[in-house]
Amino acid sequence: MMMNKNETHNLTLFDVKGALCKLVITEDRDEDGTKMCHDLINVETNEVVATLDWSPYSEPSDQEVQQLIDLGLPRGLCWEHSNPGTRFNFDSDSLALYLSGEVIDKSHGKLVLVTKK
């Protein structure tokens, strides 16, 4: 298992709970592929302020990072009519679907935020 710490290619700073942060993506590579962890790092203290609950297989855009911050950095999503323990990570499609408020089918309902671990 190999860990590589790579900063995103842009220098966008985000205000997270009063701290200026940058998005740092850490890649975990093994024989099965690469998974990414998405951390918001305080630029002054270099400490992790928050970890985004984003898919380990994609990178969020700056706008998507800001949307998650504006939502209060939720712990993921689940379907309205499902067990909250069945939460899943954000990705571009699921975030857009949540923000639209659309109901895909009545048995699932709409997507809702999971705010607790």
pLDDT of 9 reads 44
Predicted model pTM? 0.85
* Mean pLDDT across 13-34: 91
Domain residue ranges of the chain, discontinuous segments joined by +: 1-52
Predicted confidence (pLDDT) at residue 25 exceeds the cutoff of 70 = yes
Residues 6+ apart with CB under 8 A from 54: 38, 60, 64, 68, 89, 90, 91
Q: What is the mean pLDDT of the chain?
A: 87
The better pLDDT of the pair 33, 60 is held by 60
